[in-house]
Structure 1
Amino acid sequence: MDKAWMSKNGLSHEYEAGVESFLQFAMQNANDPNEIPFPCTRCGNLQMKDVRTIRAHLCCNGMDLTYHTWIWHGERSTVKNPMNDSDQVGPDEHKYFAEETIDMVHDAYDSYAENPSQFHKILEDAEKPLYSGCTKFTKLTALVKLFNLKAKYSWSDKSFTDLLSLLGEMLPDHNELPLSYYDAKKSFSALGMNYVKIHACPNDCILYRKEFEDLSNCPICGMSRWKLGNNSVVNEGIPAKVLWYFPPIPRFQRLFRNKEVSKELTWHADKRICDGYLRHPADSPAWKVVDQKWPDFASESRNLRLAISADGINPHSLMSSAYSCWPVVMITYNLPPWLCMKRKFMMLSLLIYGPKQPGNDIYVYLAPLVDELKCLWEIGVDAYDAYRKEYFSLRAVLLWTINDFPAYGNMSGCVVKGYQACPICGEETYSTRLKHSRKILYIGHRRFLPRNHPYRRQKKAFNGKQEFNPAPKPLTGLEVLERVDKINYRSGKMSGKLQREELETKSCWKRKSIFFELEYWKHLHVRHVLDAMHIEKNVCESLIGTLLNVPGKTKDGVAARLD
């Protein structure tokens, strides 16, 4: 079936004709014409309505381009058996997997590669029809849809158990649906990815790994490794704080085991248009620095260029900062721009579980990830390229981190508040404290104008002085390393209180970033970047609110006028 119309302009005749053909196909395979899943980019097949409403959604929101096989609308899916090269298709085999489910099966195959019989047993259990005669759902696809709904609507574990129990009673006897959240999670986790639970000090001093692996108390603050119960009784075996670590190397190897993905991982070298325009990180000077300084790394187009992003979230969906959970997500830039930011290719590598945010001690939790990045750079790992059908040595480089401004300071070790909060100007930051607003004002931006710009000579419109100083030059990685190499920073919340006075000196650096353990880090031009979302939201919203005098949003208040 031709699906080229999905990527066409929503106002074109081809798109309109494609929508009509899709709706006809969905109507022919629907049990109830008023209960058809929405395949638009906004709904993602999680809501069900009539054809008229779906047509309006597809015209307004567009078709979900990741919905390649119309599995929720009656199309039969072709699933490649990872144990051989033959395609197994047919109405009796019940291969109705969504794209994410197929990837899970391939990942599980790699995990059980040394024991094929065990994998076959798990796969057969996942592929069972939901009940005898069911042609719409298998056990696994039903669980995928239910877990998606659980996550979307924030259902509690107890309510999810009650729902499964009710659905089990509604379905025919001897159905395959688990009757509790615990059983569903057990069925689901067999095909999931591997992870490592690393115990951590509740004060963020250390991780209990390497030389600290067998300790029961933190050697820095003395806190117990185990959770304290009633009357401060130590619950042996229950860790006080846990880091969830998802090793990236096995997942990088799995990427190359998929023929289509392996082909796309060299897009930057095979298909990218080099015309001087910046459309992809591969067009940036930062990418070219790696190519020029390490030509042996650049000669293998399959070597990965990575970025990581970290920020605090509240998993309980409350507008409160009382609880903070920090995911660290890894992005692969080898892929084309329409794929590298897809959820499927954004890898969760660390989950720093709350309730307190790690702050400046986040480097303690980044240590396992940095160790693997060092291995990927210095040694490499063996990987099999399913597209080219050959083994090769896979290496990787971390180009930069992506954060909001507070997390920028945590990751880089620089000061992001106070009188020297500009990472570019550093010790040459022009700042003063406003008496009435009780905030620090950052001035001196005329230094960045051309030397002969007329604003440099104006006095009245600015601070009553002319400005002829040159713009400060950003420090190179080598210069930053020279300044932070001798800083003695003590990790942990308790240590942080003791050295607070030391951090309030005139230095704009708090500590040495853990990423300097990577051999190439000091040579990169850009090491930490700010994400555009926060800049658009916070800065632009304040500007527009002030210019338009929006109530509650404007910064033009009494204190500002007095200052």
Structure 2
Amino acid sequence: MDKSWMHKSRLSKDYELGVENFIKFGFSNTSSSYIRCPCLKCGNCEKHSRKGVRDHLYVNGIDESYKIWFWHGEELPNSSFYDESSKFGIHTCEDHQDVGSVKEMIEVAHEEYSKDPTGFEKLLIDAEKPLYEGCKKYTKLSTLVKLYNLKVRYGWSDTSFSELLETLKEILPTTNELPNSLYEAKKTLGALGMEYEKIHACPNNCCLYRKEFANAIECPECGQSRWKNIKDTNERRKQIPSKVIWYFPIIPRFKRLFRSIECAENLTWHSTERINDGKLRHPADSPAWKLVDMKWPDFGSEPRNLRLALSADGVNPHGDMSSKYSCWPVVMVIYNLPPWLCMKRKYMMLSMLISGPKQPGDDIGIYLAPLIEDLKLLWESGVECYDAYREEPFNLRSVLLWTINDFPAYGNLSGCCVKGYKACPICGDNTNSIRLKYGKKMAYLGHRRFLARNHPYRRQKKSFNGKKELDTIPEPLSGEDMYLKLKDLEFSRGKKNHKKRLMNRSDKICWNRLSSFFELPYWKDLHVRHCLDVMHIEKMFA
């Protein structure tokens, strides 16, 4: 079946004929009046009518990675269970990275679990063991991977998944190897997952109990105990940490991406397939990307080196609108990928989870220390990585281009004040602001200085603050100037010192602290370090 139309322009005649043939093929294999929509927005997760599917394919475009139309009746090629699982796009949902096939996952697990030969040997046995006697298509491991991916994709509860396993175990022949509970399934799939670290933290955001504080029993800054005062039934105190953060190391995940042939090829898309005609279609066309290539040519000469973005914001995991609990996930985005894959869920990498109930605020840099250390290592020396597409090892490095946040989180990550008299990160100390006498609110009336020198609004008095505007546009501080200005100042840490954030602070200063990202050697040289996300800009100004 010809599928070349999937890669052509949506305005072409070939694409139009391809869409009609696809819809005809999809409905010929079902008696329902709805089929799954393979557009980039639905991703075969939602069903629509003929007209709905046709409209979506023209408006959103088709997912070009949908190479075998399994959901629409196309037969899978005869192959081993390894190849079969790769056609489904099976990946471990615990790390949300598509490694292509069960075979590739086992190869990666061999490296990561080389210190535990017994566990890896058991994994190999499960990968080769038929699901039941005489079964040639599925093994115990491939079946569990497929079922677990369906659980995550469609949001099945743990209870429903366990009941499904019990039902399937009863339906299949009595010699089947299928586990009968979610707990047993996770024990089998555990070796395919990625490691994570649980790091104890001071509840006042003063420090992490790692490195020199790994064995401390109280905070060296505020004296708060590391443990909760909880006793068990025998009146013996149980050592439960007051606060814990989860760190998911990024280096093993980056290395696992390159072990997939498809992912390794996509990670060089910006160099091999991007149209370079001066138009802005991808972050690789931006001045920030080109600055890195020009300033550090040894880094830019290797297209496999990763360009990253970081996003962090508070979420309420309990689903209500109250602000009693704020949990902060820190997500990494990889810009080497094509634009239609950059924002896919499986490529948005959760690197850290900062637990609540209170938000970290300006002390978020304390929690980001493990992540920044890995980013620093990936910039300075890199790590050895294997490229499955080119079948060769290489030295993997990365650069963090910017962060993407809403305005309050912008202030937390940049160290800049985003409220009060000096609330503009661009104007800084030159922010023009007044406090309304009766409204008790801050007003920022210096916006006329951004107009042309001969603009009539500059001379109007009555419509504004009763004065002419003669000031010029303030020049924002560069990263180098900002670092030199703040590096010698002393900043306090923790909730107890929130009101005296700066030890030698003068009134109405616009800086709360030096951003922890300045520990990265290249950070002060970047033109754009922090970005506001589009959603909040559209919400406030559209």
Q: Same fold (TM over 0.5)?
A: yes
AA aligned to 2:230 is G
Paired with 2:541 and 2:458, the residues of 1 have a C-alpha distance of 25
Q: Could you give the per-residue CA deviations for residues 483-524 of structure 1, whole angstroms, max 9, x where no partner exists?
A: 211232222222325648976832100111111111111111
Q: Which residue of 1 aligns with 2:95?
A: none
AA aligned to 1:71 is F
Select the residue among 48, 60, 83 that pairs with 2:55: 60
Alignment of 1:359-370 (within 5 A): 359-370=361-372
Paired with 2:289 and 2:355, the residues of 1 have a C-alpha distance of 33
1:399 and 2:397 aligned: no
AA aligned to 1:57 is G
Select the residue among 142, 145, 149 that pairs with 2:147: 142
Paired with 2:398 and 2:82, the residues of 1 have a C-alpha distance of 43
Q: Which residue of 2 aligns with 1:89?
A: 79
AA aligned to 2:485 is R
SS in structure 2 of the partner of residue 399 of structure 1 = strand
Do the aligned residues in 1 keep the contact of 2:491 with 2:503 (CA within 8 Å)?
Answer: no
Paired with 2:168 and 2:399, the residues of 1 have a C-alpha distance of 48
> How far 1:274 moved relative to its partner?
3.0
> How far 1:442 moved relative to its partner?
1.2
Do the aligned residues in 2 keep the contact of 1:263 with 1:387 (CA within 8 Å)?
Answer: yes
1:373 and 2:372 aligned: no
Paired with 1:200 and 1:212, the residues of 2 have a C-alpha distance of 10
Q: Which residue of 1 aligns with 2:110?
A: 112
Do the aligned residues in 2 keep the contact of 1:199 with 1:243 (CA within 8 Å)?
Answer: yes
AA aligned to 1:2 is D
Q: Which residue of 1 aligns with 2:418?
A: 416
Select the residue among 369, 382, 385 that pairs with 1:383: 385
Paired with 2:90 and 2:407, the residues of 1 have a C-alpha distance of 33
> How far 1:320 moved relative to its partner?
2.0
Do the aligned residues in 1 keep the contact of 2:90 with 2:146 (CA within 8 Å)?
Answer: no
Closer/same/farther in 2, CA of residues 423 and 343 from structure 1, 3 Å limit: same
> How far 1:245 moved relative to its partner?
1.1
Q: Which residue of 1 aligns with 2:69?
A: 70
Q: Could you give the per-residue CA deviations for residues 102-134 of structure 1, whole angstroms, max 9, x where no partner exists?
A: 627434521323478855753663687777769
Q: Which moved more, 1:511-520 or 1:191-200?
A: 191-200
Paired with 1:302 and 1:362, the residues of 2 have a C-alpha distance of 30
Closer/same/farther in 2, CA of residues 405 and 177 from structure 1, 3 Å limit: farther
SS in structure 1 of the partner of residue 329 of structure 2 = strand
> How far 1:161 moved relative to its partner?
4.3
Do the aligned residues in 2 keep the contact of 1:76 with 1:96 (CA within 8 Å)?
Answer: no
Q: Could you give the per-residue CA deviations for residues 143-190 of structure 1, whole angstroms, max 9, x where no partner exists?
A: 211222227xxx4x4565456556655666555554433334334433
> How far 1:267 moved relative to its partner?
2.8
Paired with 2:83 and 2:390, the residues of 1 have a C-alpha distance of 30
Do the aligned residues in 2 keep the contact of 1:127 with 1:140 (CA within 8 Å)?
Answer: no
Paired with 1:147 and 1:122, the residues of 2 have a C-alpha distance of 22
Q: Which moved more, 1:234-243 or 1:214-223?
A: 234-243
Do the aligned residues in 1 keep the contact of 2:493 with 2:501 (CA within 8 Å)?
Answer: no
> How far 1:415 moved relative to its partner?
0.3
Do the aligned residues in 1 keep the contact of 2:231 with 2:238 (CA within 8 Å)?
Answer: no
1:246 and 2:251 aligned: no
Alignment of 1:474-493 (within 5 A): 474-493=476-495
AA aligned to 2:88 is A
SS in structure 2 of the partner of residue 319 of structure 1 = coil
Q: Which moved more, 1:409-418 or 1:327-336?
A: 327-336
Closer/same/farther in 2, CA of residues 231 and 420 from structure 1, 3 Å limit: farther
Closer/same/farther in 2, CA of residues 520 and 500 from structure 1, 3 Å limit: closer
Unpaired runs of 5+ residues, structure 2, are: 92-97
Do the aligned residues in 1 keep the contact of 2:232 with 2:238 (CA within 8 Å)?
Answer: no
1:495 and 2:497 aligned: yes
AA aligned to 1:70 is W
Closer/same/farther in 2, CA of residues 480 and 470 from structure 1, 3 Å limit: same
Paired with 1:338 and 1:461, the residues of 2 have a C-alpha distance of 47
Q: Which residue of 2 aligns with 1:546?
A: none
Alignment of 1:80-229 (within 5 A): 89=79, 95=85, 98-101=88-91, 103=99, 105=102, 106-113=104-111, 114=114, 119=120, 121-122=122-123, 125=126, 138-150=143-155, 155=157, 157-158=158-159, 161=162, 165=166, 178-229=179-230
Closer/same/farther in 2, CA of residues 139 and 187 from structure 1, 3 Å limit: same
Closer/same/farther in 2, CA of residues 291 and 16 from structure 1, 3 Å limit: closer
Q: Which residue of 2 aligns with 1:269?
A: 271
Do the aligned residues in 2 keep the contact of 1:329 with 1:348 (CA within 8 Å)?
Answer: yes
> How far 1:97 moved relative to its partner?
5.2
> How far 1:340 moved relative to its partner?
2.2
Paired with 1:92 and 1:521, the residues of 2 have a C-alpha distance of 43
Paired with 1:27 and 1:131, the residues of 2 have a C-alpha distance of 34
Paired with 1:116 and 1:89, the residues of 2 have a C-alpha distance of 29
Closer/same/farther in 2, CA of residues 18 and 237 from structure 1, 3 Å limit: farther
Paired with 2:180 and 2:492, the residues of 1 have a C-alpha distance of 49
Paired with 2:380 and 2:409, the residues of 1 have a C-alpha distance of 28
1:511 and 2:513 aligned: yes
AA aligned to 1:219 is P
Paired with 2:22 and 2:81, the residues of 1 have a C-alpha distance of 21
Do the aligned residues in 2 keep the contact of 1:100 with 1:344 (CA within 8 Å)?
Answer: no
Q: Which residue of 2 aligns with 1:552?
A: none
1:448 and 2:427 aligned: no
Q: TM-score, normalised by structure 1?
A: 0.82
AA aligned to 2:152 is F
Aligned residues: 522
Q: Could you give the per-residue CA deviations for residues 402-426 of structure 1, whole angstroms, max 9, x where no partner exists?
A: 1111111110101000011000111
Do the aligned residues in 2 keep the contact of 1:143 with 1:188 (CA within 8 Å)?
Answer: no
> How far 1:354 moved relative to its partner?
2.0
Paired with 1:38 and 1:335, the residues of 2 have a C-alpha distance of 23
> How far 1:448 moved relative to its partner?
1.2
Q: Which moved more, 1:208-217 or 1:66-75?
A: 66-75
Aligned-CA RMSD value: 3.4
Do the aligned residues in 1 keep the contact of 2:332 with 2:349 (CA within 8 Å)?
Answer: yes
SS in structure 2 of the partner of residue 260 of structure 1 = helix
Paired with 1:279 and 1:394, the residues of 2 have a C-alpha distance of 25
SS in structure 1 of the partner of residue 368 of structure 2 = helix
SS in structure 2 of the partner of residue 324 of structure 1 = coil
Do the aligned residues in 2 keep the contact of 1:94 with 1:129 (CA within 8 Å)?
Answer: no
Alignment of 1:242-391 (within 5 A): 242-391=244-393
Q: Which moved more, 1:383-392 or 1:303-312?
A: 383-392
AA aligned to 1:313 is V
How many percent identity over aligned positions?
56
> How far 1:317 moved relative to its partner?
2.0
SS in structure 2 of the partner of residue 244 of structure 1 = strand
> How far 1:10 moved relative to its partner?
6.6
AA aligned to 1:89 is S
Q: Which residue of 1 aligns with 2:3?
A: 3
Do the aligned residues in 2 keep the contact of 1:150 with 1:160 (CA within 8 Å)?
Answer: no
Paired with 2:412 and 2:487, the residues of 1 have a C-alpha distance of 16
Q: Could you give the per-residue CA deviations for residues 288-333 of structure 1, whole angstroms, max 9, x where no partner exists?
A: 2222222222222222222111111112222222111111111222
